[in-house]
Amino acid sequence: MAISVERDSPNYQDMTADAEEAVIEALRDLARWLYRQLEREYEYLTSDEAVDEAIIANEYTFTETGRRFG
């Protein structure tokens, strides 16, 4: 992930010395947190429990060979 930090100041003030690193680290922390949330959601949605719930809720039926029926 590439991050570029610039300051758009109406009076042309420069950024503080550690501002760029602080913003970059905050954005990377956010990206890691979002990725972990997506991983957890994917793991749940593809779990046996979630698949079983979806089959029951949608009243899916299957043949003995595993093909969807009805």
How far apart CA 26 and CA 22 sit, in angstroms, is 6
Q: Is 20 helix (H, G, I), strand (E, B) or coil?
A: helix
The answer to whether residues 3 and 22 touch, using CB atoms and an 8 Å cutoff, is no
pLDDT at 70 over 80: no
| pLDDT classification of 38: cutoffs 50, 70, 90 | very high
Give the residue ranges of DSSP H helices in the chain.
19-45, 48-57
- What would the mean pLDDT of 58-68 be, rounded to a whole number? 94
For 16-35, what is each residue's pLDDT tens digit?
A: 889 999 999 999 999 999 99
pLDDT at 13 over 80: yes
The residues spanned by each domain of the chain are 36-70
The whole-number pLDDT of residue 21 equals 93
pTM, entire model: 0.66
Q: 62: which DSSP letter?
A: E
